[in-house]
Structure 1
Amino acid sequence: MFGYAVVKFGDIASITRGASPRPIKRYITSSEQGINWIKIGDAGINTKYITQTAERITIEGAEKSRKVKKGDFILSNSMSFGRPYILQIDGCIHDGWLSISDFEDYFVPDYLYHLLSSDSLQNEMGKKASFGGAIQNLNAEIVRSLELQIPSIDEQRRIIDLLDKFEVICNDLQSGIPAEIEKRQKQYEYYRDKLLSFKEL
């Protein structure tokens, strides 16, 4: 549908920084009417989804924050630097997160997840966010400036299928001894970066 066009991420998606109501303690609530307050601790180890939160904030607090919805991506701009997560819940994010939404006309979510996780984009974000060798916060403008190739939706689904198979093997601790798992992890990373570079396919 879109071939292999190269576009700036910010031209095809909405990318914004979160916001924190302050002092945050004033807005934390135990009420069921509260809004999910998404923090880095809500992201599980080796998972791509955020499914629940430990805390909620009041409706007033939500108005001072950044609302996100199920299906949006969020990236940490400090801890777990640049690591993408897909939301399976609605909620609000503080200023330690960036949100990515409105990309569905161009990317299948699982493909975008693999693309943002690739070494090439992770390294690019790291370089653009560094100054004098020190890592700075990843800001929305850096992510908007990323140049991405957009393969056809069919090609995206083919790549997803291949990478998901490798990911299942890598994450299944029952599938073999640690050395074998490490070997499969390296294979996954090799093919992920090869498939997402669009060179010598």
Structure 2
Amino acid sequence: MGEVASIVRGASPRPIHAFLTKGDHGVPWIKIGDVAKNSKYITETAERVTEAGARKSRRVHPGDFILSNSMSFGRPYISKIEGCIHDGWLAISGFESSFIPDFLYHLLHSAPVQAEFARRAGEGTIQNLNADIVKSISIPIPLIEEQERIVAVLDKFDTLINSISEGLPREIELRRKQYEHYRDKLLNFVELREAA
């Protein structure tokens, strides 16, 4: 992974309370609590840091990935905002020549990659994911066209599973049509008489 992307640890200005601001001029301060468990994107933050605090932190830009490195480590998110991350995050950027973002999201979120993160993070006394571990992970790099095809399939399943407004009614309609098809086939006595 380190050969195709830049992976760095976040940084925290200390003491953090001295750099927090309520003003709109502050820089979004991205924390684990700012993203929902099943969310793919970071779109807003509850707190902001001053420009001085931002200079002592790690900036991320829209399109960059952030990866939690402790607690629920290995969970990827795509930043939709400019902001700063503390040392509980890793930032992943510079991957665009090898990956489309949605494919990289699905790849980092996949069971094999997550299992490898867990295995390597567990090698120390405290489970912790660091930049060197993520850099050392071997990952496939399909052609961009194949990545786009895979993303289209996975995003369709994601919508069906996670969107009550879109996925559930569509699934119900498909099951209804399937039921009607089999009901009509099973109850078509004309075909049965002709076969006899």
TM-score by length of 1: 0.81
Mind listing any 5+ residue stretches in structure 2 that lack a counterpart? 173-196
Please say if residues 27 and 60 of structure 1, whose CA atoms lie closer than 8 Å, have aligned partners that are also in contact.
yes
Q: SS in structure 2 opposite 1:56?
A: strand
RMSD between superposed Cα atoms in Å: 1.6
1:120 maps to 2:126 = no
The residue aligned with 2:159 is 168
1:148 maps to 2:139 = yes
Please say if residues 37 and 57 of structure 1, whose CA atoms lie closer than 8 Å, have aligned partners that are also in contact.
yes
The residue aligned with 1:109 is 101
1:15 maps to 2:7 = yes
Mind listing any 5+ residue stretches in structure 1 that lack a counterpart? 1-8, 181-201
Higher relative contact order (CA 8 A, sep 6+): 1
Structure 1 or 2: more strand by fraction: 1
Q: Percent identity?
A: 59
Please say if residues 161 and 168 of structure 2, whose CA atoms lie closer than 8 Å, have aligned partners that are also in contact.
no
Separation in 2 of the partners of 1:143 and 1:131?
14
4+ aligned runs moved over 4 Å, structure 1: 174-177
Please say if residues 126 and 135 of structure 1, whose CA atoms lie closer than 8 Å, have aligned partners that are also in contact.
no
Please say if residues 7 and 131 of structure 2, whose CA atoms lie closer than 8 Å, have aligned partners that are also in contact.
yes
Q: Which protein is bigger by CA-based radius of gyration?
A: 2
Q: SS in structure 2 opposite 1:161?
A: helix
Separation in 2 of the partners of 1:118 and 1:135?
23
Within 5 Å, give how 1:53-64 maps onto structure 2: 53-64=45-56
How many equivalent residue pairs?
A: 169
Distance apart, 1:176 and its partner CA: 4.3
Q: SS in structure 2 opposite 1:80?
A: coil
